[in-house]
Structure 1
Amino acid sequence: MGVSLGAGVALAHFGGERDGGDTASAPVAGAPAAPEPATAAPTPSRKATPGPKPTVKPKPKPKPKPKPKPRPTATKKKAATVPQSGPGTFTTASASGRVTGTSGPLRRYRVQIEDGVELSARGTAEEIEAILAHPRGWAAHGRGRFQLVRSDADFVIRIATPDTADELCARQGLDTHGELNCETTDGVVVNLKRWMLGSPTFAGPPEEYRHLIINHEVGHEIGIRQHMDCGGPGKLAPAMMQQIKGLNGCRSNAFPYDEDGVYITGPIVS
């Protein structure tokens, strides 16, 4: 009896040692199982339905900047070459024209250019023909008719270097100082310097001053022998005034008549 009791006590003591350990104990047989915790069913994930993609307008390509146009390079006008002297021989323009003017005596003229200068004889003759046909000139107002010819002329218009012009004018007793034009027994001598460069006292370009040269010298040819002076301060200078020697208060002018057809005159001086 005593031995069986001791054995049970020993078993009981041994089981208590196991319950006090750190390891979880196994369930007792026949005891109801603890209910498992309810687990919420997983909610199915909703996939977002993609909406229509926004239309993205392509950025406009920048327009290419126009290339700057190259600026034209200003070309300097070649300065006129005026030789001081020449050979003293002349080329006659091989040109002829129609009669300019409707009344007055017919005066036929030819044009000669000294050899070796940079002037076209034909081109210069045509320019002189246009000067004599100008609406403010002699022919337009009944002071004579003019015709460019190659030969059988009533007078000649010569354009000569300053030295040659001085020589031709000196034969008539005139001193032109390498600067002036003159009238001779057979026609007109035009100083090349004046034809190409104009006059320091004339307000217009050389092309306009050529009108004054021809109108003044041809004025002598049609019988206006004397020179005129300024008709009053601020007035147009007469074509028969030696304007290169000074304007005396007048305005430079290349034509015998004004725009209203009035003859421009002034006091007689020589």
Structure 2
Amino acid sequence: MSEQRRAVTGSRRLSALRRRRRRRTRIGAIGATVCLAALGTAAVPILLPRLLPDTASQARSPEAVLTPAAPSPDTGVSQTPGTATGSPRPSKSPDARNTSGTGPGTGTGKGSASQPAIPSSGPGTFETAALATTGPASGTPFRVQVETGAGVDPVDAARQIAAILDDQRGWRRAGARFRQVTGPEAELTFRVATATTTDQLCDVRQADHIGEVNCRTGADVVINLKRWQLGSPEFDGPPVEYRALIVNHEVGHWLGRGHETCPGPGRPAPAMMQQIDGLKGCVSNAWPYDTRGRYLSGPAVP
């Protein structure tokens, strides 16, 4: 083969080789582009959240909806801060079984937001309270009994009744003295009884008094459980204060005193007034005497 022919053949081979290289380069570039495109599509879900704010997840986050609880109406529950609607927490509310004392109160005898369970009837059997206080060695012996199942602690009831009898605003001011006993030597017995048992012991017949009143019958003072726990709708004071009125009114009968009525508008209602039937212009009062030792009287009821 001549030198000229070999040169031509070599030139053709070189050109063909260059064309094949260019094709491989183009194919590789296309393949790389396709691969990069595929890789980019697959990476979108991974990379995109890093580039854009995750508003959807923020909307689901508790922190996104937490707001301080707004002050709620005085309905007996409060809202717990840190929740969207608040968790109910019962607020302290007044207890109808309050035994903190027998002094004047500012509440209402119409019950409370949290009332104790009050059975309307019971078996008619009674539990005698153990000695509740270290009282005087002399005085009229009395005992306290609570009907079985009434839900009242007999010792607690005895402690309250003893405090009322020993209060200077009570019949102690008139010279009456009492001491608690537990046996049949008692000359006066206080019985806390369900409404039905009270009606039976008191022989209640007046329609509007059935299930509502207390009484003194012979040597027994029968205290209606309903009135002991809730007070009276007509008495402007807490149940613990109304208990003083029950004891003072019925012991007054035992001492021989009769009913009295309102002495005038705005005056204290006498303890011997049937305040459950209405105050007739007087203001509620549980005690026979005021703090200065003056008897709070009213016109006698024939």
- Range class of TM-score, shorter chain: 0.5 to 0.7
SS at match of 1:189: strand
The residue number in structure 2 matching 1:33 is none
Q: Deviation of residue 99 (structure 1)?
A: 4.5
Is the counterpart of residue 116 in structure 1 residue 149 in structure 2? yes
Q: Deviation of residue 142 (structure 1)?
A: 3.2
Q: Partner letter of residue 159 of structure 2?
A: E
Is the counterpart of residue 80 in structure 1 residue 116 in structure 2? yes
Deviations 1:134-164 (A, max 9, x none): 121111x133111111111001000100000
- State which of 83, 86, 89 in structure 1 corresponds to 2:125: 89
- State which of 200, 213, 231 in structure 2 corresponds to 1:198: 231
SS at match of 2:290: coil
Identity of aligned residues (%): 48
SS at match of 2:142: strand
The residue number in structure 2 matching 1:261 is 293
Q: Deviation of residue 100 (structure 1)?
A: 5.2
Q: Deviation of residue 83 (structure 1)?
A: 0.8
Deviations 1:206-250 (A, max 9, x none): 0111110000011111221x1000011110000000000011110
Q: Deviation of residue 259 (structure 1)?
A: 1.9
Q: Deviation of residue 178 (structure 1)?
A: 0.7
Bigger Rg over Cα:
1
TM-score by length of 2: 0.60
Q: In 2 relative to 1, CA 75–251 (structure 1 residues): closer, same or farther, beyond 3 Å?
A: closer
The residue number in structure 2 matching 1:252 is 284
Deviations 1:104-159 (A, max 9, x none): x93211000000111101111011111111121111x1331111111110010001
The residue number in structure 1 matching 2:201 is 168
Contact 2:219 2:254 in 1 (8 A): no
Is the counterpart of residue 241 in structure 1 residue 273 in structure 2? yes
Contact 1:157 1:188 in 2 (8 A): yes
CA root-mean-square deviation:
2.1
Partner Cα distance (1:73, 1:234) in 2: 37
Give the number of aligned pairs.
194
SS at match of 1:158: strand
Partner Cα distance (2:247, 2:261) in 1: 18
Partner Cα distance (1:134, 1:174) in 2: 33
TM-score by length of 1: 0.67
SS at match of 1:229: coil
SS at match of 2:282: coil
Q: In 2 relative to 1, CA 220–98 (structure 1 residues): closer, same or farther, beyond 3 Å?
A: farther
SS at match of 1:84: coil
SS at match of 1:123: helix
Q: In 2 relative to 1, CA 96–122 (structure 1 residues): closer, same or farther, beyond 3 Å?
A: closer
Is the counterpart of residue 128 in structure 1 residue 164 in structure 2? no
- Which structure 1 residue ranges, 5 or more long, are not aligned? 1-69
* Structure with the higher fraction of residues in helix conformation: 2
Contact 1:212 1:254 in 2 (8 A): yes
Contact 1:181 1:189 in 2 (8 A): yes
Partner Cα distance (2:125, 2:263) in 1: 40
Contact 2:129 2:143 in 1 (8 A): yes
**Greater Cα offset, 71-80 or 126-135:** 71-80
Q: In 2 relative to 1, CA 174–223 (structure 1 residues): closer, same or farther, beyond 3 Å?
A: farther
The residue number in structure 2 matching 1:223 is 256
Q: Deviation of residue 80 (structure 1)?
A: 1.4
Partner Cα distance (1:253, 1:75) in 2: 27
Q: Deviation of residue 174 (structure 1)?
A: 5.8
Q: In 2 relative to 1, CA 155–80 (structure 1 residues): closer, same or farther, beyond 3 Å?
A: same
SS at match of 2:210: coil
- Which structure 2 residue ranges, 5 or more long, are not aligned? 1-79, 82-88, 96-113
Deviations 1:189-209 (A, max 9, x none): 010000000001111100111
Contact 1:100 1:133 in 2 (8 A): no
